[in-house]
Chains A and B, each alone.
Chain A
Amino acid sequence: MTTTQKTADLPAAKSADSAGTPLLQVKDLHVEFHTRDGVVKAINGVNYSVDSGETLAVLGESGSGKSVTAQAIMGILDMPPGRIPSGEILYRGQDMLTMSGEERRKIRGRKIAMIFQDALSSLNPVLSVGYQLGEMFRVHQGLSKKDAKAKAIELMDRVRIPAAKERVNDYPHQFSGGMRQRIMIAMALALEPDLIIADEPTTALDVTVQAQVMDLLAELQREYNMGLILITHDLGVVADVADKIAVMYAGRIVETAPVHELYKRPAHPYTKGLLDSIPRLDHKGSELYAIKGLPPNMARVPAGCAFNPRCDRAQDICRTEVPALHPVTEQDGTTLVGRGSACHFWKETIHG
């Protein structure tokens, strides 16, 4: 996803279905919100891509722009305050931002689906679960009520909801949190989309259920060979599931890396700070590390690198110049595939 890894190196991309173009590619996306307090630049040039069967984890604090990127991809941004001044979102090479509303709607649900954070509020409280699941088939495939219900039961079985047949007519509030998230997953899966965007799918769940839901999601992804964009702020959730990670800070991607490399050798001080602030059993008794300061107000992003007020390594250059996403290399200069860091001092961070 660094500059070297864009459309230039086609042979490297392994998506079999469409001549090497990635399933989804976000190119230099900018999103801003026009508010009374001025223009808030929520996203400033985000690039990433996902292939079939691949999982990209987008990591970042609240307000870093990870959900806004997802909403822009889905086309569900509230468009008067929000605006997309520049950028491209390519689905199989086609720019979705220039499509008509109707064309985009046909992609939503059928080709790209989304799982939301809070499953209770994402399910319509006055419609039964079976109805809402069946709705996907009735609207998009024109199935009859009876067939749609049968399909709904099948889907509920698929996401391992016990006693699906008996519970198909229940309402969302009658299910537990984990079961509701499974229903959300089932709805997203209904039409077997190519890509699923999961926006913090486990944040509202307790830890034991989190693991189950993540496992289920990973398993279904393998089964259908879907692309998955997993948006989260939980480094623990990511470790097992993701193939590659993009770390976001203040509306930019500050580091990209294959998952295990990122954990082993972070190349950006922010990522390093995040990893150090995970509680660990072997550090019992010592004080827990925290990145000092707060994430910036997006209406007043600091000049230069947005992370500079919180960074230990900050020098003068960090306060004036916005760092580009540098390709990260080994000390001897061999490139590390898929790695990039938007830090002036990435060398010191990874090798020092």
Chain B
Amino acid sequence: MPDLTKTEETEPVKAPVAEGAPVPPADPAVGKPRSLWSDAWSDLRRSPMFIISSAMILLLLVIAAFPGWFTSLSPRDSDMALYLQKPQFGAFFSPEWLGYDGQGYSVYTRLIHGARNSILIGVSVTVLVTFVGGLLGMLAGYFGGWVDTVISRITDVFLGLPFLLGAMVILVSFETRAVYVIVLALAVLGWTLVARVMRGSVITVKQADYVMAAKALGASTTRILFRHVLPNAVTPVIVVATIALGGYISAEATLSFLGIGLAPPAVSWGVDINTAKDLLRNAPHVLLWPGLMLSFTILAFIMFGEAVRNALDPKLR
């Protein structure tokens, strides 16, 4: 093939210039290497939804960690003389600001102290669910075959349990209503969602050429799973988990409201809503504030999740 090879031989003379040239000037805008995460971060920094929601979440986290910074009272400091006293909106951040409830507790103080349980439960459930669901989903998706069949059928069984019924059965079978019991109940019923998302995502990623390339270059299965599959498959899981976090907080409130979640000596927004429901006609404010606080918290986490999703996967917008 003399004519064929000849054209190829003449080309390389100028080709190295073409290849080499773009390197030094590169893109002046892109000085640093750009990974998926650094791209996502630069998107996030410019997203108002992200800034607002993360400010809200930050505030909530500070309240949950250091309630003493916001109120001097304890949530169980009761003064029956102040029974159902109306809010005094002029008195910002003082105990009487949002009024008093049926036990003579300061509503504002209870709001501040209730944040800890709600956030703790929301975050712990999310972490637990992400680990358990993520691991099982990854194994099912990567290995397929009987591993997938077993895990997927178990997932289906748990997915089939009605949430409230399932939570009731689990909670009733425990003697205590401690935070960890609620976390456990919610996680047992919640991991399936993450497992499904992870499984689907891993199935897509495992067919990628770079997984085969890693295999061909002698990487072990664990290495392929955690270095090559996981980082590429984890994005939708992060999105689902952040959005679900708000849902877990409201689930805790739901269970506490129904009387099967945290019980009264414990302080939480759900417990407050539960006790306030009987006083709705006399003192609507007692119900209003924990309800609002709950809504804002959930809103903040869902907005945060949406912002993260938009940054990580712009196609979904």
A→B interface (CB under 8 Å): 74, 76, 80, 105-110, 113-114, 116, 118, 121-128, 135-136, 139-140, 162-163, 166-167, 169-171, 174, 176, 178-179, 184, 187-188, 207-212, 215, 235-236, 239-240, 263, 278, 280-282
Contacts and interface: CB of A to CB of B under 8 A. Distances in A.
B30 to A, nearest CB: 8
Contacts of A170: 33
Contacts, number: 127
B34 A122 contact: no
Contacts of B214: 124
B220 to A, nearest CB: 7
A76 B216 contact: yes
Interface centre among B1, B8, B218, B227 (most CB of A within 10 A): B218
Interface in B1-21: 1, 3-5, 7-9, 11-12, 15-16, 18-20
A163 B22 CA distance: 11
Contacts of A113: 216-217
A166 B37 CA distance: 20
Given A108-B217, A121-B210, A179-B19, A126 B5 contact: no
Contacts of B231: 124, 126-127
B215 interface: yes
Interface string B28-56: 00100111110000000000000000000
Contact of B1 (A105, A125, A139, A239): A239
Contacts of A178: 19
Given A122-B210, A126-B232, A170-B33, A139 B8 contact: no
Contacts of A163: 23-24
A82 to B, nearest CB: 13
Interface string B211-247: 0111111111001000110011000000000000000
A239 B5 contact: yes
Nearest to B13: A208
Interface in B127-163: 144-145
Nearest to A210: B8
A278 B4 contact: yes
Given A113-B217, A136-B217, 7 more contacts: A107-B218, A108-B217, A121-B209, A125-B232, A163-B23, A171-B33, A236-B1
Given A163-B23, A278-B4, A122 B218 contact: no
B164 interface: no
Contacts of B8: 207-208, 210-211, 236
Contacts of B16: 212
A211 B19 contact: no
A125 B216 CA distance: 17
Contact of B208 (A105, A121, A166, A281): A121
DSSP majority for the B interface? Answer: helix
A351 B37 CA distance: 64
A136 B217 CA distance: 8
A171 B1 CA distance: 38
A67 to B, nearest CB: 11
Given A123-B210, A208-B11, A239-B5, A105 B34 contact: no
B220 A167 contact: no
B3 A281 contact: yes
21 contacts: A105-B218, A108-B215, A116-B212, A121-B209, A122-B209, A124-B210, A126-B37, A126-B231, A127-B227, A128-B35, A139-B218, A169-B33, A171-B33, A171-B35, A174-B33, A179-B19, A207-B8, A208-B18, A235-B1, A236-B5, A280-B4
Given A108-B218, A240-B5, A125 B36 contact: yes
A233 B97 CA distance: 80
A289 to B, nearest CB: 15
Nearest to B15: A208
Contacts of B35: 126, 128, 171
Nearest to A173: B34
Contacts of A280: 3-4
Given A125-B36, A208-B11, A282-B3, A167 B217 contact: no
Contacts of A140: 218
A148 to B, nearest CB: 14
B113 to A, nearest CB: 42
A263 B1 contact: yes
A28 to B, nearest CB: 24
Nearest to B19: A178
A184 to B, nearest CB: 8
A240 B216 CA distance: 27
Contacts of B216: 74, 76, 108-109, 113-114, 116
A240 B2 CA distance: 10
A76 B231 CA distance: 22
Contacts of B144: 80
Contact of A109 (B23, B210, B218, B227): B218
Contacts of A135: 219, 227
A123 B9 CA distance: 29
Given A128-B35, A208-B12, A209-B19, A80 B145 contact: yes
Nearest to B216: A114
A74 B214 CA distance: 12
Contact of A139 (B145, B208, B219): B219
A73 to B, nearest CB: 10
A164 to B, nearest CB: 10
A170 B30 CA distance: 11
Contacts of A124: 210, 214, 227-228, 231-232
A128 B18 CA distance: 23
Contacts of A107: 218
B217 A109 contact: yes
Nearest to B235: A126
B223 A139 contact: yes
A74 B9 CA distance: 32
